[in-house]
Amino acid sequence: MQLDAKLPSGPLREKWDKHRFELKLVNPANKRKYRIIVVGSGLAGSSAAASLAELGYDVDCFCIQDSPRRAHSIAAQGGINAAKNHQNDGDSIWRLFYDTVKGGDFRAREANVYRLAQISVDIIDQCVAQGVPFAREYGGMLDNRSFGGAQVSRTFYARGQTGQQLLLGAYSALMRMVDAGKVRMHVRHEMLDLVLVDGHARGIVTRDLLTGEIGPWAADAVVLCTGGYGNVFYLSTNAKASNVTAAFRCYKRGAGFANPCFTQIHPTCIPQSGNYQSKLTLMSESLRNDGRVWVPRRLELVGRKPSEIPETDRYYYLEERYPSFGNLVPRDVASRAAKKVCDDGLGVGIAVGGRRNAVYLDFADSITRLGRKVISDRYANLFDMYERIAGESPYEVPMRIYPAVHYTMGGLWVDYNLMSTIPGLHVLGEANFSDHGANRLGASALMQGLADGYFVLPYTIGHYLSTMHKGKFGVERPEFAEVVRQQQAQTRRLLALKGQRPVDDIHRELGRIMWDYCGMGRNGDGLRKALAAIPELRERFWTEASVPGSGEETNPWLEHAGRVVDFLQFAELMCIDALERDESCGGHFREEHQTPEGEAVRDDERFCHVTVWEDRGDDAAPAQHREPLTFENVKLATRSYK
Amino acid sequence: MPVVPDPKPANSSERPQPLGSTIGRKVVMALSGAVLVGFALAHMAGHLKVYAGRDDYNAYAAFLQGLGGLKWLVRFGLLAALVVHVRSGLTLAARNKGARPHAYAVKRAQRSTPYGRTMLLSGLVFVAFLIYHLAHFTLGWVHPQYFALKDALGRTDVYGNFVRSFQSPIITGTYVIATAAVSMHVAHAASSVLRTLGISSGALRRSCERVGPALGVLLFVGFASVPVACLLDLVKP
Amino acid sequence: MRLQLHIWRQKNSREPGRLVPYAVQADEHMSFLEMLDVLNAELIRKGEDPIAFDHDCREGICGACSLVIDGVPHGPRAATTTCQIHMREFPDGAEITIEPWRAYAFPVVKDLMVDRSALDRIIAAGGYVSVRTGAAPDANAIPIGKNTAEKAFDYAACIGCGACVAACPNASAMLFVGAKVSHLALLPQGQVERTARASRMIAAMDAESFGGCSNHGECEAVCPKSISLDAIAKLNREFMRAVATGES
């Protein structure tokens, strides 16, 4: 596997310009002759499909939901960063670049991140022109807020529904192209596999989720925008249908998978209330501005009502351990601290499986200090949402929160052109690994998805088509029939499973293994345990699972079973990567590598690289490749939030 | 599945007629309905003149009869409004029914009113009544015994016809039921008209939503009081 | 808590369906959909056919979930999607009827799943501003008053779930269409295509065989995002504006 990132030479500021000039163009009259498959319709997929169609390409766009508007980008709450410096507070493209590289704990490519910061400015313009109702100031200008601990206010937002509004903007652009006949939208179609012809990605095989039909689609290039793999943990803030299948099938077909162990945990989610829990809901991090985090100080107080625990017996562990940042320490620090107190038995709330995994986020002091009205003005929506789910009013009882898996920084390896190691296969958004390094800054996911789709891929795909792409053909090539046959066989194999256990149950078991051993804190022993447990569970899947229904109808259980099969394999790759990366960085915390105060210790000597995994077949260990990371413009620094 | 007949699909080669769209038909219904409500109010005011006595009432009737061409213009105008209103209403009702071919086993109304949901029924009851009403007072086909009465000045004694007719509990009962139907119809319709015409929104919304029920009550009291007063002998022939 | 459910079962759009009784043991902290998950797990263990329903984000924003619970789309709690309803809303021993959205334009796919692609086709007919990627002016070049932006947002908050259609006695999509038309008609960016957009979207709505609006207000009452009936008044105004300017 060759890892040529194709990074342009020259000064950082000029790389993207220079590169765009060097990219080969496709003659405008020829664009309509190229068919491009876009898989996924979230921010990256919708924006890419719409922009490619506007350029004249012939686009087929696929999504698993009943409408492209339902992609999980819709659930992003906080906002989108852009280096507009509207607040005159010292922001710049360089500062956004620097913050992103540092936030990613120096495990991302400088050139990619710089390009992202450059493009961020155009994204806001584009979205506003589409009619995205961003928050405004009284004078009519766009409002900004500071987000995720940034020192400048560069986040544009639309109440707590920024992802929704940006996605609806991209969706409207997509539907405009559907109406123009330039995009064929295939809803309720799931990509099951990638089809390679002469080593190039030339099509996909899908299941029509209404009829069950497995069919091939040929194209001149394939663009994967299928999001992240947080659901490998079963419980996450991802939507229920979010999955790794499309990306993992591409990995099995030869695409390198980069840094799969890099996952982001969000510290403020509503905790699990029972074994039946199906997903976790994120509460905006802004709550930490006015809430104080605590647990009972002693084990004998555990299980008491919060009102029965006197002030002196409350352990404000963030304030005590991190006096200068207090409750506002970064996401990963806050998350690990919560896990630690709960692991120590001091957790609060409902005991699930004998464990109380929650801490209090208490607004009583703020309500006393600022008044109920001020708190309500700031957080009414969030408090209502919490009350709907948890059944308690945060005005009266401290909120219960616990960290949950939120975002995955790892993904298919791509070069500067967003092309994977398979020629023709481009990967955008959360599905690729490119820009966030080992951790993602708040309000940067939306920025990256839209940057890739609106402003990077439309340039770079032309270069592939005009320089590397060869031959025109359709699904009559035997490679398509072969992959269809393989997928039909896999479907038959799944439908033959008539065990006793619902697939959901096995998925939940996998999630527990991953959360315990490859979650917020990881160590060598735990990961080795997981690496023993996962293959064993995978074996049991094929004897215990039950998949109801047939393959010729709408069958959500068959869909889920297929996804869990891939999660069961992918989980192993994650653990291998986590074990291999013997350092702590960003969202990847190896307990062996921490300061006495519990801070992550990076090892730049040994691990300043991207780890890329190549599949060697089901029975062999994957091959490891490395893309070294060089930092010419920033100095590798160590975080400290003491 | 039942076929939803009307209007034409957007992508048919025929350019869709704006007034044939669902909203177009509603606007037509709203405007024609507003004309009919206007007439109902004027008509009600006329009825209330019964309380002023035979002389005033018959003079008013004679004045209306003496309008000649204008009278016929108004009559044709009202007829046209009625025909358009009923036709649009029936077309939309058929379409609305077709839009939900399979009814819910359980359906709990959240906001709609019983009178709002029975517009078709109250409308049809009213149309039936209207025919009877015209046969009664305009054409003299039913209850002709009172139709030929003349007053002391030789004018048609509409007052006498009116009061004597309503001394019959059956006639009064019929009128009160019909009045209730009209009032229920208007109670929903008047506010509905204001939204269909785009007026009922923002700051005006609450007031607009009160217009319908208020008009409904007004029409019921205004129209029902006279026959009931006749029946109870509060107004003498 | 013990619940008695009556759930609509239908194999596909061609075959007739019926209500089937089920008993399930639930927990008051469960969400409504988790209660159905538990029932489905039980059915799978017993080798019976589990119940299909649409769902995805389970946090009230994607618009996928869609059940009529005891005669009310999205169930008993105002301004809340089905996925955010929790079982504590119901008494122990409750008997609950669960049906799919019912409209000619929303054919049942299976059990409680329906096909709502009609809503996408209406958006495709004009629910956008025609701006090519790259052609946008500077974001602050057009000031938009805070109140205007907020109002536009209120309409833009629509999640496209179709509860308005499900609740309407006429299965009308006016609130959905009105929300999009109003959102874009309020903003300066939407002015150029304003009348054409309204006309095209109304024609598309009619072509999908939705019913007309009778101003009952059921849609507003069940809308999980509390979109106001003002959207419908505005849509009517936009229609008349299009007729008046001859651009219909």
Is B118 near chain C, with CB under 8 Å? no
Is C97 near chain A, with CB under 8 Å? no
Tally of structural domains, chain A: 2
Q: B109 to chain C: nearest residue by CA?
A: C218
Residue A137 lies in a domain: no
Cα dihedral A380, A381, A384, A390 in deg (nearest 10) = -120
pLDDT of res. A251 = 98
| C2-9 and C95-100 strand pairing | parallel
Question: How far B237 CA lies from chain C's nearest CA (Å)?
Answer: 44
Q: Is the pLDDT of residue B13 over 70?
A: no
pLDDT tens profile C127-169: 999 999 999 999 999 999 999 999 999 999 999 999 999 999 9
- Mean pLDDT computed over every residue of chain B: 91
Cα dihedral A604, A605, A610, A612 in deg (nearest 10) = -140
pLDDT of res. A483 = 98
Please tell me what DSSP assigns to residue B145.
Answer: G
Chains C, B in contact, 3 or more Cβ pairs below 8 Å: yes
- Mean pLDDT, range A573-595, rounded to an integer: 96
- Mean pLDDT, range C199-203, rounded to an integer: 96
pLDDT of res. C188 = 97
Percent of chain A with pLDDT over 70: 99
Same domain, A492 and A362: no
Is C76 near chain A, with CB under 8 Å? no
Structural domain boundaries enclosing A527 = 478-628
Cβ of B11 and C248 within 8 Å? no
- Mean pLDDT computed over every residue of chain C: 97
pLDDT tens profile B183-199: 999 999 999 999 999 99
Number of B to C CB contacts under 8 A, please give it. 159
Same domain, A389 and A304: yes
Q: Which residues of C touch A237 (CB under 8 A)?
A: 59
Give the DSSP per-residue string, A142-191: BP-B--TT-SS--EE--TT-HHHHHHHHHHHHHHHHHHTTSEEEE-SEEE
Same domain, A500 and A380: no
Domain boundary among A389, A404, A419: A404
pLDDT tens profile A519-541: 999 999 999 999 999 999 999 99
Q: Is the pLDDT of residue A63 over 60?
A: yes
More confident residue, B236 or A547: A547
Contact residues, B window 183-222, toward C, CB-based 8 Å cutoff: 188, 191-192, 195-202, 205
pLDDT tens profile A279-302: 999 998 889 889 999 999 999 999
- Mean pLDDT, range C179-202, rounded to an integer: 97
CA distances from A311 to A210, A397, C43, C109 (A): 57, 15, 49, 56
Give the DSSP per-residue string, A44-107: HHHHHHHHHHHHT-EEEEE-SSSSGGGSGGGG--S-EE----TT-SS--HHHHHHHHHHHTTT-
Please tell me what DSSP assigns to residue A25.
Answer: P
Domains in chain B: boundaries: 36-72+113-231
Question: How far B136 CA lies from chain C's nearest CA (Å)?
Answer: 33
Residue A63 lies in a domain: no
Q: Is the pLDDT of residue B9 over 60?
A: no
Q: Which residues of C touch B4 (CB under 8 A)?
A: 104, 209
Length of chain C: 248
Q: Is the pLDDT of residue B6 over 70?
A: no
pLDDT band at B18 (very low <50, low <70, confident <90, very high): confident
CATH of the domain at A536: 1.20.58.100
pLDDT tens profile B200-214: 999 999 999 999 999
pLDDT band at B144 (very low <50, low <70, confident <90, very high): confident
Residue A564 lies in a domain: yes
Q: For chain C, which domains are there?
A: 2-110 (3.10.20.30), 117-244 (1.10.1060.10)
pLDDT of res. B16 = 58
- Mean pLDDT, range A346-374, rounded to an integer: 95
Say whether C24 sits in a helix, a strand or coil: strand
Please tell me what DSSP assigns to residue A508.
Answer: H
Cβ of A210 and C109 within 8 Å? yes
Chains A, B in contact, 3 or more Cβ pairs below 8 Å: no
pLDDT of res. B14 = 47
- Mean pLDDT, range B177-188, rounded to an integer: 97
Cβ of A455 and C133 within 8 Å? yes
Is the pTM higher than 0.80? The answer reads: yes
Residue A325 lies in a domain: yes
User: Does A331 qualify as catalytic in the annotation?
Assistant: yes
pLDDT of res. A637 = 86
pLDDT band at A641 (very low <50, low <70, confident <90, very high): low
Of C41, C62, C133, the CB nearest to A70: C62
Least confident segment among A7-16, A146-155, A175-184, B50-59 = A146-155
Of B102, B112, B199, the CB nearest to C217: B112
Q: C114 to chain A: nearest residue by CA?
A: A66
Q: Is the pLDDT of residue A330 over 80?
A: no
Q: Which residues of A touch C29 (CB under 8 A)?
A: 273-274, 350, 391
- Mean pLDDT, range C62-83, rounded to an integer: 97
Q: Is the pLDDT of residue B174 over 90?
A: yes
Q: C132 to chain A: nearest residue by CA?
A: A54
pLDDT of res. A638 = 80
Diameter of chain B by CA atoms?
A: 68
Same domain, A511 and A394: no
Q: Is the pLDDT of residue B19 over 80?
A: yes
Is the CB of residue A62 less than 8 Å from the CB of residue A123?
A: no
Question: How far A77 CA lies from chain C's nearest CA (Å)?
Answer: 10
Question: How far A382 CA lies from chain C's nearest CA (Å)?
Answer: 12
Say whether B215 sits in a helix, a strand or coil: helix
Q: Is the pLDDT of residue A175 over 70?
A: yes
Q: How far apart are CA B228 and CA B46, in angstroms?
A: 16
Place of tokens 């659901």: A231
pLDDT tens profile A458-494: 999 999 999 999 899 999 999 999 999 999 999 999 9
Is the CB of residue C128 less than 8 Å from the CB of residue A176?
A: yes
The chains in contact with chain A, meaning 3 or more Cβ pairs closer than 8 Å, are: C
Q: Is the pLDDT of residue B176 over 90?
A: yes
Interface test with B, best of C9, C236, C238, C243 (most B CBs within 10 A): C236
Residue A246 lies in a domain: no
Is the CB of residue A457 less than 8 Å from the CB of residue A37?
A: no
Q: Is the pLDDT of residue B1 over 50?
A: no
Of C72, C210, C229, the CB nearest to B195: C229
